[in-house]
Structure formats: C-alpha cells, structure tokens
Amino acid sequence: MAKIVNSWNDFDPLKHIIVGVADHSVIPDEEPATSEKVPVDSEMRGMWGPRPLETVEKANAQLNYLAKVLEDRGVKVDRPTPLQWNQPVITPDFRTQSMMTCMPPRDILLTIGNEIMASANSFRCRYFEYLAFWPLMKKYFDEDPEFKWTQAPRPRLTDKSYKHNYYDEKISLEERLVRTANKDFVTTEHEPMWDAADIMRVGKDLFIQHGLTTNRTAMEWFKRYYPNLTVHAVNFPGDPYPIHIDATFVPLRPGLIINNPTRRLPQEQRAIFEKNGWEIVDAAMPAHKEPPPLCYSSVWLSMNCLVLDHKTVICEASEVNQMEQMDKLGMNVIPVPFRDAYPFGGALHCATADVYREGGCEDYFPNRNFNDATLV
C-alpha cells in the first residue's frame, strides 16, 4: 500500500491532483451568502438555472486539456463524479432550488499533510458538493493506510448565520470598501463557516482570509483542530467582494508571493513576511478588461495560477502580462487556455485540489520574535 496523500503548500513539486468537471453545472438562485458575491451591476444578477450546454462543453474541453498537460508532465490526475446539480437542497433548516457544480475542488477540499478535509461552506447551494469527491476519498482511504479522511463540522446555515439586511441598503463601492476594511461581512460568527480556497497553506503556518465566505469563528476552530500549526488571519481592504485568497495573495515559491495591487495586504499584517525575508510583489495587471460571460469572478483570475514546482507555473494562455511577469520572476511558464472554464468557478488553481506534493511540513517563518498582527 502506497502513500497517496501529502501536501503542505502550493509550490513544492506536484505529483497528484484532482481536476474539476463542469458537467450538469447550475447557476444557483440567490440566497443569503451568494447574493453578496454578485456585484450589483453584474449581468449575473437574477440569473439562475442550468448553464447552457454549449458553455459546459467548452469548459470541459479546457478542463480536459489542463488534465492532459498535467499528465504529460508526469502528474497523476483524478476527476470527481458529478451529481445532477439541478436538484434542490433540503435540510431541516433551509431549502434551495439547486446545487452548483464540482468544477472548483479547491473550494471544497483542503489538503494538509496526509489529511483531506471537506469544508464548511457558507453557500447553502454547496451543502452536498463534497459528495462528488467522495468516491475519490474512498479510493485513497482504501489504498493509503495513513490517509485521514475528514469532514469539518457541517454548519446548519440557518438565518442566524447571515446578516439579512446586509443587501437591502443601496451602498456605493466606497461604502462597500469601508465595510471590508471594518471586517463587516454578510456572514455572522454564529458557527464556523469556511471555504478551503480561503486558506493559504505554507508548511507550519495557515493564512486564512476573513471575508464573505470564511469567518473568524472558523479560524478559532482551525487553531484548536491544528494545535501544532500557527493560524493567521489576513484581510484585504481593497477588495469589495472578498472571496477566496487565491486571486489575491499567491505564493510562487518559498520567499516569494504575488499580491493583487488593488487588494494589498495591510502593512501591519506584512511583518511576518518581511521579518522572514519574504518578498511580496504586486501582480501584473490583467490582460482583460472584463470577465467572460456568465462569470461571477473578477478579471483578477489572471493571477490564479497553478504552481507545479519552485520553477514552473501554469498560467491562463491569454494572460500575457501575468506570463511575462512570471518569466521575469524566474518561473518557466506553461500557457493553458482556460477562460471558457472561468464562469464555472474560477481559474487554474480554483479548478484543482492537491493530493500529493513532495516535501514535508517546513517552518518557513522561523523568526517569530516580533508582534505578529495576523495571529488568531
């Protein structure tokens, strides 16, 4: 029996990964957590229902090509088993019209060492999304005696978990940014809620974004669950819709991070990086002015790349500015077209989840003799 699951960061040599699938994807109807994700002026407002088949086929073609590129480089690729997402979610506490997709496994699965944990999402439509990955988890469990298969405490997602007047006010972008800076989000602290894509794994340290999908209670839960790791809370005041850290703050290798220049890490939270010799570089500007049609995400998916090792990165093929910057930063760039997949849940990092990377649990921040403003 072999060791199948091992990953402590996003940059050590990648050997095994899950790539998502777009089959049967649905645009979910509005619910407390999803409404805030959609900008007021977005064409996505009021849109819901099964995604057009033509767009599903285009997305799957690009997902399949990503899988082939990875396999050609010797990376083992697994794929989830899609559900019929156009079914309601019914629990004792709520009902939604549909589920969503299994295109972005990064939102659902968190790999820390030999453990893969399913998340505690705040979107009601994502309540059963983990089931698409359960056949793979069972396979790893059967084949790897060290694999820990875990489910975080399932949030009930009652009305107590959301601020229900949060959307009723007609607030400007400036007011929205003030709310972000004040850490005032639609989710309450009633129960732990988190998306796996809000967590940046760097060996013995977890950097968790506080935003619309992950709350402080979740950070406290992580602190207790992983007593041997250090949990840091980070936030990015320049982001009016703070969801997921991986289009904002992206490590490329030990000592180097690219940061969204419109959502810079606050100065007081930079100390742990600066005191340990890490360089934080403004990411290149996106090549596109608008996201593709029927896409929730911002143009900053340009920096949502997939690092294969300390010298190699996969970037979206049309993001010429980002690829040029990666080259200047000493990375070998593999271009992969992916914009047709964006609307289903994000870019290259979003659409994947680590199973195995070489390397162990390193301490990348040995100097801790200062006031760390990020500590939970």
Give catalytic status of residue 310 as yes or no.
Answer: no
Yes or no: say if 52 and 340 are a contact pair by the CB < 8 Å rule. Answer: no
Yes or no: say if 238 and 262 are a contact pair by the CB < 8 Å rule. Answer: yes
The contacts found for 113-116 with CB under 8 angstroms, 24 or more apart, are 113/6, 113/7, 113/8, 113/361, 114/3, 114/5, 114/6, 114/144, 114/146, 114/147, 114/148, 115/5, 115/147, 115/148, 115/149, 115/150, 116/5, 116/140, 116/147, 116/148, 116/149, 116/150, 116/353, 116/355
Rounded to whole angstroms, how far apart are CA atoms 76 and 62? 17
Residue 158: which residues within 8 A CB-CB, separation 6 or more?
93, 94, 190
Rounded to whole angstroms, how far apart are CA atoms 141 and 326? 37
Question: Looking at residue 186, what DSSP letter applies?
Answer: S
State how far the alpha carbon of 191 is from the alpha carbons of 50, 125, 152, 156, 200, in Å.
Answer: 31, 17, 12, 8, 21
Give catalytic status of residue 350 as yes or no.
Answer: yes
Give catalytic status of residue 309 as yes or no.
Answer: no
Active-site entry in 16, 210, 244, 349: 244
Active-site entry in 12, 107, 195, 239: 195
Q: Where are the alpha helices (DSSP H) in the chain?
A: 32-35, 53-72, 134-143, 173-181, 216-225, 271-274, 320-328
Tell me what percent of the chain is helix, strand and coil, each rounded to the nearest 5.
Answer: 25, 25, 50
Pairing status of strand 312-316 against strand 306-309: antiparallel
Active-site entry in 232, 295, 350, 354: 350
Q: What is the CA radius of gyration of the chain?
A: 19
Active-site positions read 195, 244, 350
